[in-house]
Structure 1
Amino acid sequence: MAETSFPNSSAEDLKRHVMEIFQDATNDCEDEELKGIFLAVGMSYDSLNDCAVQMFDADMGETDKAREMFKPLSHLGILSHVAVFTIVISLYSGSRKAESALKVYHQMIATGVNPVSFTYTQLICVLATDFSKLKYLRLAKKYFLETLDKGMKLDRTPFWNLMKAIAYREPLEKFKEFLQQIKAKGLVLHDYGFNYREAYLAEAREVLKMFAHLVHNDTIDKDVRSYFFWKTTSAEHFQKLGCKMYSALIDDGNVDEAKEFHDEVEETGIQPLVLIHTSIIEAYLEFGKTKGALEAYLAMLAAGVAPNSYTYTVLIKGLAADPNFFGDAKKYLLEMMDKGKRPNVATFTAVIEGFAKQEDEAAQEEGKQFVQVMIDKGFVPNAKAMMNVLKGRQTRVIRSILSIVLSTLKE
């Protein structure tokens, strides 16, 4: 089925042949949802071509790789055979169907069609993220090395998926061995965001294991697992979170904590565990799962990781927003202060707002006593800064909050 075998064929003949390839590659699909997708994509050549263009625009965005995969079958501009096979592999990959993707890949090779970099990207990703069979990791490593032998440069996603799988499923020696293999073949680790220092590879492996654990451990909430499945496909996500944490610490005047955070990253090349644990807490809160966030915080403590001021800020504001966990918000705000950390105005205000929203005199009095405890611990409320935080709140809530705080200051 060499793609140069149809030099004199008409456009319609070529389109029919492309559709036959698509049908052959998808006719034994057993997944009902994917069947529907394949049916829609395969309604006509035009729908298949539209799928190819949309898929490329969404997943790649690189002109050179577009030319590589979508190089026409002829001067008539018909989709190439490798593009058709890659579409099917990609759809299986997106649904995490490793065995089906692998079968289509073998079918493609058997028909004499050579994979391109995007084909390998999709195949390696699905193999590296499916832990149901040991052979998948072996094959993912094999195909990644194969791309290097062919002089291909994949994007960072398959690389990071593969490194997490190796860290999670193989001993440290195998982790180091694979790094040496790919470096020997010319891959520059820094180009892929792998900035871990040689002396800290054991620690780096533990961090990557944790990333994989977040995705593959069934005891973790499914929404959170899905979140980390997509967010941790490259180093950029945690680098951005690291910048966010560092900036927040600086903005709140926690210069010593910010410096400690920065120095650890500089020394090891590894994002500190406090960042990863805090991001887990944030993920639970993003899905409105306050109990999960609190459990993630307790798991952080159990792992021997100390929260910094930013961790407390995230946790306390999340707990304060849920009436069922308001008691915990108060507890951890005082705990934060007992550890010599000072809450920022947004965190303090979130807890005082929790008192105000209860709309009864007992809660008001308790709120005043709570503020007094904080003042006794050295905290000085800033009413003007609180007003900036409270913009957009209901007038009655603002009045109640200010009543709690200002009456305490007057005393």
Structure 2
Amino acid sequence: MAGTSSPNSSADDLKKHVMEVFKDATKDCEDEELKRFFHTIGSSYDSLNNHAVTMFNLMVDFGLTEKAREVFKPLSDLGILSLVAVFTIVISSYHTSRKTESALKVYHRMIATGVNPASFTYTHLICVLAEDFSNVKYLRLAKKYFLETLDKGMKTNPTPFWNLMKAIAYREPLEKFKEFLQQIKAKGFILHDYGFYYKEAYLAEARETLKMQAHLVHNGTVDKDVRTYFYMKCVFPGHIQKLTNKMYTALLHDGNVEEATKFRNEVEETGMEPMVLIHTSVIKAYLKYGKPKGALEAYLAMLAAGVAPNSVTYTVLIKGLSADPDFIGDATKYLLEMMDKGKWPNAATFTAVIEGFAKQEDKAAEEEGKEFVRVMIDKGFVPNAKAMMEVLRGRPIAVIRRAMSIVLSTLKQ
């Protein structure tokens, strides 16, 4: 095997062999940025080894200690970098740069050399294949290598599983989605260990959720900034769980106990995050990049998809639209829509709209704001001046005065 050595092999010979393998694995690189990277870490054995140490420490920080030890277990008692580590470094670099074909070629070269991949090697290979929708063969290969890890008794981390499930959901019909789940279950794969709760009754919903997530990352019709945002979020384990907890907590914090209970029950019943969470995250992403028009279109797409907004959705949308004077009319429209559905805005949401009027420094906008407050009061809403002042703390004095004037003068009438 290429990954072993005789006790008589000198450390220098082994280091030289490691560098030869690294240079051979990277010689076909065409990406200029990656070329420079490979040249830097491959300038000497010590440089390559230092990079391996950095990678090892990063894996440990992410809780992948056992997998790190498997990949970076030294060659013999001389402490030389193993060849599986070399190939994994190169494949992971191609994965990070989304160079699927290059990663695949290096993997084939690795197998031809007689080096057995570690589970972390498979992680990067499966991920780069599953994340690339440019060629249908990549999904077929991602499935093949995932099943191969199971046949070898390997336990990968959740990321390749979820990336693969998203790709299948996006590219294949529900029956294929079910078929793959049955395949991996038959090989002893325990779905709930990876956060996927297999319930036949909710498989269609689970597929739609995963399909939506894949759409946000891979579909060219989605705004580039939003696609990049969701791609980066998908990289970090547990991110969706954090968003789920955050929405549930926000609903409870604002006193929306019934909505919070409904949201929690849906998560527990289906084992998946509700579509309202994903759509709300899309709206928030557009607003994060200062694109209120995109946020509004995302909200309308959410309604068209038959997904009902909850109080958090309205809060995110209204506060975001209020920040742009061109969309203050839309903000008031959706705040009133929110109330008509029996959902009451919190102080921050109401104040954001009033502040939107106040920041325009225009008498007509001020009168429009007063009329808006009157309509809200007619619907039963009672503005809380103290809560407003708390929200406005730190704003310019002139804005605070105008905002409070819009509300207080209306209350006195």
Bucket of the pairwise TM-score, normalised by the shorter protein: over 0.9
State the distance in 1 between where 2:253 and 2:203 align: 32
- 1:74 deviates by 2.3
* Equivalent residue in structure 2 for 1:317, among 294, 316, 319: 319
- 1:288 deviates by 1.8
- 1:178 deviates by 1.1
> Mean alpha-carbon deviation: is it higher for 309-318 or for 187-196?
187-196
**SS of the counterpart of 2:78?**
coil
| Letter paired with 2:249 | S
Matched with 1:341 is: 343
Whether the 8 Å CA contact 1:156–1:234 is kept in 2: the answer is: no
Whether 1:43 and 2:10 are equivalent positions in the alignment is no
| Letter paired with 2:206 | A
| Structure 1 residues 164-179: aligned runs within 5 Å | 164-179=166-181
| Structure 1 residues 251-400: aligned runs within 5 Å | 251-400=253-402
State the distance in 2 between where 1:95 and 1:62 align: 22
Whether the 8 Å CA contact 1:160–1:233 is kept in 2: the answer is: no
Whether the 8 Å CA contact 1:161–1:233 is kept in 2: the answer is: no
Whether the 8 Å CA contact 1:264–1:272 is kept in 2: the answer is: yes
| Letter paired with 2:394 | G
- 1:6 deviates by 4.2
Deviations 1:256-276 (A, max 9, x none): 211221222222222221111
Whether 1:27 and 2:27 are equivalent positions in the alignment is yes
* Stretches of structure 1 lacking an aligned partner (at least 5 in a row): none
- 1:233 deviates by 5.1
Matched with 1:149 is: 151
- 1:53 deviates by 2.1
State the distance in 1 between where 2:233 and 2:22 align: 31
* Equivalent residue in structure 1 for 2:73, among 49, 57, 71: 71
Matched with 2:98 is: 96
| Letter paired with 1:29 | C
Whether the 8 Å CA contact 1:346–1:389 is kept in 2: the answer is: yes
**SS of the counterpart of 1:362?**
helix
- 1:95 deviates by 0.9
State the distance in 1 between where 2:390 and 2:317 align: 21
Structure 1 pair 176/124, CA: closer, same or farther in 2 (3 Å)? same
- 1:239 deviates by 2.3
| Letter paired with 1:343 | P
State the distance in 1 between where 2:71 and 2:269 align: 41
Matched with 2:411 is: 409
Deviations 1:261-308 (A, max 9, x none): 122222222222111111110111122222111110011111111111
State the distance in 1 between where 2:368 and 2:8 align: 86
* Percent pairwise identity: 77
State the distance in 1 between where 2:363 and 2:282 align: 37
> Mean alpha-carbon deviation: is it higher for 326-335 or for 226-235?
226-235
Matched with 1:209 is: 211
* Stretches of structure 2 lacking an aligned partner (at least 5 in a row): none
> Mean alpha-carbon deviation: is it higher for 109-118 or for 166-175?
166-175
Deviations 1:8-43 (A, max 9, x none): 222222222111111000011111121111111211
State the TM-score, normalizing by the size of structure 1.
0.96
Matched with 2:124 is: 122
State the distance in 1 between where 2:69 and 2:268 align: 39
**SS of the counterpart of 2:255?**
coil
| Structure 1 residues 190-269: aligned runs within 5 Å | 190-232=192-234, 236-269=238-271
**SS of the counterpart of 1:365?**
helix
- 1:4 deviates by 2.0
> Mean alpha-carbon deviation: is it higher for 95-104 or for 56-65?
56-65
State the distance in 1 between where 2:16 and 2:384 align: 73
| Structure 1 residues 101-116: aligned runs within 5 Å | 101-116=103-118
Matched with 1:9 is: 9
State the distance in 1 between where 2:406 and 2:296 align: 27
**SS of the counterpart of 1:232?**
helix
State the distance in 2 between where 1:240 and 1:197 align: 23
- 1:400 deviates by 1.4
Whether the 8 Å CA contact 2:5–2:76 is kept in 1: the answer is: no
| Letter paired with 1:100 | S
Whether the 8 Å CA contact 2:95–2:128 is kept in 1: the answer is: yes
State the distance in 2 between where 1:353 and 1:196 align: 47
State the distance in 1 between where 2:391 and 2:57 align: 40
